[in-house]
Structure 1
């Protein structure tokens, strides 16, 4: 039995007015298929091109190992020259991903290859982030700490995306004091005997190909799996919903610091307790629904 997922709507291209009316104001996701064909990046950006312009740069790598109490927030698991990493992606499957890399700071010429699109939202221009992955590598199901509106531009290959909005939190086995679900849930092929409440969750799915843009509304949970090696760039706009904005402030200034303090004090017991609570709280909430 698969997850209860509907296909994310798709449009060829879209005006600012239609985007705001049909997707942003309703906080619904959409894939825009042919929005960036006039960008130089559309024809230039590939893994091989990235290797040419940034091959000597040392990049941070992440895999799908469970969170360890000794890990800092977004602390890299390994490092490698970008050239060697891209060769690895092309040669064989690898769990290593590049995550939240501000490549445009390190490779300024990339900034000439795209323009910040006018979706009617003020995009944060200082932090375009790049994400790379090899075949079958994936992220944990998570949402972003700032609950931003995210525009995810995909380049080369194919990528599976599964989304849930915040109304589905009670079914997802969310880890308390965190932005992730249980890390041992395989959202590509979930075990409903082990995670029965996932059957109640209603979400969205799509597969992104080169040049397509996915809009993820504020605070949407997202799981990304690279079907083939590739990379994406995310642009973001601050959360405008007052509830989401206040939650973002709480996450950044209180939740993250509290979690770091508890890791230092209790060590792995804190991580284990949170993992247990994800199951206990999810099942408890669903007995009272």
Structure 2
């Protein structure tokens, strides 16, 4: 067992549009910005209590830390619960239950009045701001976003730890074919370098997020997220603008995802096992060529 080689993320209090574009967006370098939300109403208003007051009787799908098996869809929730009841759990005890991609404009449009789209050079896709909730035992498996956005990720009411890996580290991460994640058997908190030797060469970036922090995650960056206590985050996404990335996004969303879902539906666990074996073989072959 071991630990990943990581360096702390660059932390700024504020950044101008010119400096952000020059030093972070164009070079595709992650950065944590502490002061970006401090003038938003959300900075003072967005707490678990506030969301709970507005939740009403909404019923939400919940996910946990267990990977989907056999023919089970990764989008199939483990249970459903009223949002107010779920938030009460977040406020009172650790849980691995989390909410994935809660669409603000559809489910709680009033929240859109509490934030703004930062003028920092990203062309945000304004139709799909989303919230993500988690508790003190919630983990978001290692993955990159299927639509390859440049994302600003804002955290509220709680603390979370994020580990990032740039796309050029993919060769060490045991990426599973026809997917956007690595081997789910890998313990990202305590990686087994004997079973997965390529991992010891991966170099990551760590970020600790607290209320109001904004994290820039460039397109294609891998991220592994741990909620340290109950809280929630909002992601604003900017679709990829470079032609190569845009074409890759279209392939991921329109072809790869549907092919994988179709094959999994018919082959079940055999398909998952085949992909895992392929990920190991390909990664170890690449590692032998690199060393």
Query: Normalising TM by the smaller chain, what interval?
Result: over 0.9
Moved more, 100-109 or 246-255: 100-109
Shift of 1:71: 2.6
CA distance in 1, matches of 2:250, 2:175: 19
1:189 Cα shift? Answer: 2.2
- In the TM superposition, what are the counterparts of 1:144-223 in structure 2 within 5 Å? 144-223=145-224
Could you list the runs of 5+ residues in structure 2 that have no partner in the other structure? none
Structure 2: distance between partners of 1:232 and 1:126 = 17
Show the 5 A alignment for 1:1-289: 1-72=2-73, 74-289=75-290
In 1, are the aligned partners of 2:173 and 2:182 still within 8 Å (CA)? yes
CA distance in 2, matches of 1:55, 1:183: 36
Shift of 1:6: 1.0
CA distance in 1, matches of 2:74, 2:193: 30
Deviant stretches of 4+, over 3 Å: none
Deviates more, 1:97-106 or 1:151-160: 97-106
Any idea what the Cα deviations from partners look like across 1:115-165, whole Å, max 9, x if unmatched?
A: 111111210111001000000211110000111000000001110000011
Per-residue displacement from partner, 1:226-252 (whole Å, max 9, x unpaired)?
A: 011110000000112222211111101
**In structure 2, distance between residues paired with 1:102 and 1:50:** 14
| d(CA) in 2 for partners of 1:119, 1:146 | 21
SS at match of 2:247: helix
**Aligned partners of 2:247, 2:67: CA distance in 1, in Å?**
29
- Once residues 111 and 19 of structure 2 are traced to their aligned partners in structure 1, the CA distance between those partners, rounded to angstroms, is 29
Distance 1:73 1:226, change over 3 A: closer
Contact 2:71–2:267 (CA under 8 A) maintained in structure 1: no
Alpha-carbon offset, residue 53 of structure 1: 0.6
Once superposed, what is the RMSD of the aligned Cα atoms? 1.2
C-alpha distance in structure 2 between counterparts of 1:220 and 1:67, whole Å: 23
Retained in 1: the 8 A contact 2:104–2:128? no
Determine the C-alpha separation between the residues in 2 that align with 1:104 and 1:184: 36
TM score, norm. by length of structure 1: 0.97
Bigger mean CA deviation after superposition, 182-191 or 137-146: 182-191
Partners of 1:173 and 1:93 in 2: how far apart? 30
The 3-state SS of whatever aligns with 2:141 is coil
Please list every run of 5 or more consecutive structure 1 residues that lacks an aligned counterpart in the other structure: none
Normalising by structure 2, we get a TM-score of: 0.96
After TM superposition, give the deviation of residue 73 of structure 1 in Å. 5.1
Instruction: Provide the rounded CA distance (Å) in 2 between the counterparts of 1:67 and 1:119.
Output: 38
User: Is the contact made by 2:68 and 2:74 (CA closer than 8 Å) also made in structure 1?
Assistant: no
